[in-house]
Structure 1
Amino acid sequence: MARVVILKTGNTYPSLLESFGDFDSWFLARLAPELDLHVVDVTVDDLPGKPGDWDGIVVTGSPAMVSDRAPWSENTGAWLAEAVAEEVPVLGVCYGHQLLAHALGGEAGYHPRGRETGTHQVELLDAAMDDPLFEGLPQTFPAQLTHRQSVLRLPENAVLLGRNDFEPHQAFRVGRCAWGIQFHPEFSAEVMRAYLKVQAPDLEKEGLDAKALIENVLDAPNATSLLGRFSQLVLNGQPKDPTDH
C-alpha cells in the first residue's frame, strides 16, 4: 500500500473545529482510501523520517506566515527540498505551496493587493494541458481561496500552470512530480462560507463585501478533484515527464 504523509502546518479557526474538524481531516476525506495515510503536525512534532520513506507528501495550509521563517517551517522546507530532489511526489496547498516555492529558491510574502478569499476562478495555462496532475481539467474553473501571503517569485526551474487576475501564481510544478497550488482543494463550499463568516469583520475593514463573498460561494468540483488526481499519481507510481514528447 502506498504510504502518504500529510504534513499539518497549523489549525483552522477554533469556531470551525467542532462542526468541520481540522485541516488534516479535510485532506483525509478527499485523498484516496486505498492510500496508507499518516498525519504529522510539523509545528510540534519531528519530521517523519526521510522523504524517501514515503510514496507521497501533502502539505496543508496554515494561519502561519512563511515569511516569518519559524524554525519548524524552515526545517520542513529543507525536508521538502530533499523530497523534490529525490522525486517523491509532493503537493503543497496554500501555505504548503508558498513554503515549497520558498524552499526551492523562490520568494513568499504578503500579496501587494492584500487578501484573496472566497470562491474565485482559476485559469490554467498551456503548460497545464499536458501536466500529469492538471491535464483534462477545464481551462477555467472555480476554486476556494483564502490567503494574504502568496508566491511572489517562483523558483527558477518552476513551470507556471495556473493564475487569475488577482494572483499570478495559482499553481506551479517543479521537476517531475512536485506541485504547489494556492487554492484549497480540501475545502467544501460549507467550509468556505464558514471561513468568510469568521473573517467578515476584517473583510469589511479591508473594503471587501463579506455578504457578497458569502453569497457567491460555489461548489468547486474541479479544484477538489486534484486530491483524487494526486492520489492516483501516487498509486500509479512515478508520473510521466511532461517535457518528454
Structure 2
Amino acid sequence: MSLHICILETDVLRPELVEAYQGYGRMFEQLFANQPIAAKFSVYNVMQGEYPADDLTFDAYLVTGSKADSFGSDPWIATLKTYLLKRYERGDKLLGICFGHQLLALLLGGRAERASQGWGVGIHDYAVARHEPWMTPEVDSLTLLISHQDQVTALPSDAQVVASSEFCPFAAYQIGNQVLCFQGHPEFVSEYSRALLDLRQQQLGEPIYRNAVASLEREHHGRAVGEWMLRFVAQPTTSPNA
C-alpha cells in the first residue's frame, strides 16, 4: 500500500533557482523517493490559489516553507488557515515544515513571530526530546539544514516538543499522532542552501554567512526525517479529533 500525500506549496522558488530545483513540491518528492514506505504525491500551490477538489482524500497534508511570514495578513494565508483548520477538525494528519511548522502552531493556539535570535541558516543541531516508535532510524542529536528568521515562540497547549536547541527551543513538535512539524528543512540539499546563502549574503552579513557556508560541509539528517514523517503518517491516528 502506498501513502498519498497532498503537498501544499506556499511559495515559488527564486527565478534563478527554478531550473535546478523546480519547487518545494519536487524537493519533497525527491526526499521521499526510495524510502522504506512508499508514497505518491499531489502538489498544489496554495499561494496561487490551487487546492485539491473536495472529493479527494489524502493520508496527510504537508505545508511547505515560504518566504512569507506565517503571521502575515496575506489573503492566501487566511484561506490556507481556514482550509487547514477544517482538515484538523476532520482528523486528517498534518505535516509542517518551516513556514508550515509556524502556521500550524499559530492556527492551533501557539505563537510565531520574528525571532530575536536573528537568522538561522546553514546546518543546525538539536537535542532530541523524546523517542517515538515512528522515529526510525533513531538519533540522539538531530542535524538539519535551516533557513528562517521567524520562530514558534509558544506551542499549542496539547503539543509536545520533539527536538530543541537554545537557539530554537521549539524546533520540532507533535500533537498526538495527528500533527508533526519541523522548523528545519529536511527537503533541502546542501547545494540549494548554499545558493540561498549566496543570494542573501549581504542581508545576512559576513560573519553569519561565513559560518553558515562552513557548516554545509557536515552531514545532516534530512533523509532520516523524511522517513520519520512517512512513518508518522502510516501509523494509526489516535488524536481526539479523529
Amino acid at match of 1:225: A
User: CA 1:181 to 1:57, structure 2 compared with 1: closer, same or farther past 3 Å?
Assistant: same
**TM-score normalised by L of structure 2:** 0.88
User: CA 1:55 to 1:104, structure 2 compared with 1: closer, same or farther past 3 Å?
Assistant: same
1:10 corresponds in structure 2 to: 11
How many residues are paired up? 235
The CA distance in 1 between the partners of 2:77 and 2:135, in whole Å, is: 27
Aligned partners of 1:87 and 1:176 also within 8 Å: no
Task: Report the 3-state secondary structure (helix = DSSP H, G, I; strand = E; otherwise coil) of the residue aligned with 1:193.
Answer: helix
Residue 108, structure 1, aligned to residue 112, structure 2: yes
Query: Superposed, which structure 2 residues align to 1:77-156 within 5 Å?
Result: 77-125=81-129, 128-130=130-132, 132-134=133-135, 136-156=137-157
Residue 64, structure 1, aligned to residue 68, structure 2: yes
2:52 corresponds in structure 1 to: 48
Gaps of 5+ in 2: none
2:196 corresponds in structure 1 to: 195
The CA distance in 2 between the partners of 1:145 and 1:133, in whole Å, is: 22
Offset of residue 178 of structure 1: 0.8
Amino acid at match of 2:144: A
Aligned partners of 1:123 and 1:140 also within 8 Å: yes
Task: Report the 3-state secondary structure (helix = DSSP H, G, I; strand = E; otherwise coil) of the residue aligned with 2:200.
Answer: helix
The CA distance in 1 between the partners of 2:187 and 2:68, in whole Å, is: 18
Query: Superposed, which structure 2 residues align to 1:226-237 within 5 Å?
Result: 226-234=225-233, 236-237=234-235
CA-to-partner distance for each residue in 1:196-216, whole Å, 9 max, x for gaps? 111111111xx6331232122
Residue 213, structure 1, aligned to residue 212, structure 2: yes
Gaps of 5+ in 1: none
Please say which of residues 7-16 and 208-217 is displaced more in the overlay. 208-217
Q: CA RMSD in A?
A: 2.2
The CA distance in 2 between the partners of 1:5 and 1:21, in whole Å, is: 17
Amino acid at match of 1:98: Q
CA-to-partner distance for each residue in 1:9-57, whole Å, 9 max, x for gaps? 0022222222222211101111246323100000112432459821111
User: CA 1:168 to 1:232, structure 2 compared with 1: closer, same or farther past 3 Å?
Assistant: closer
Aligned partners of 2:8 and 2:64 also within 8 Å: yes
Amino acid at match of 1:228: E
User: CA 1:136 to 1:29, structure 2 compared with 1: closer, same or farther past 3 Å?
Assistant: closer
Amino acid at match of 2:25: D
Query: Superposed, which structure 2 residues align to 1:15-30 within 5 Å?
Result: 15-30=16-31
The CA distance in 1 between the partners of 2:85 and 2:140, in whole Å, is: 29
Amino acid at match of 2:125: Q
Aligned partners of 2:61 and 2:95 also within 8 Å: yes
Amino acid at match of 2:224: S
1:165 corresponds in structure 2 to: 166
**TM-score normalised by L of structure 1:** 0.87
The CA distance in 2 between the partners of 1:49 and 1:59, in whole Å, is: 17
Aligned partners of 1:106 and 1:154 also within 8 Å: yes
Aligned partners of 1:55 and 1:88 also within 8 Å: yes
2:175 corresponds in structure 1 to: 174
Amino acid at match of 2:177: R
CA-to-partner distance for each residue in 1:95-123, whole Å, 9 max, x for gaps? 00001101101111100121111111111
User: CA 1:202 to 1:59, structure 2 compared with 1: closer, same or farther past 3 Å?
Assistant: same
Task: Report the 3-state secondary structure (helix = DSSP H, G, I; strand = E; otherwise coil) of the residue aligned with 1:66.
Answer: coil
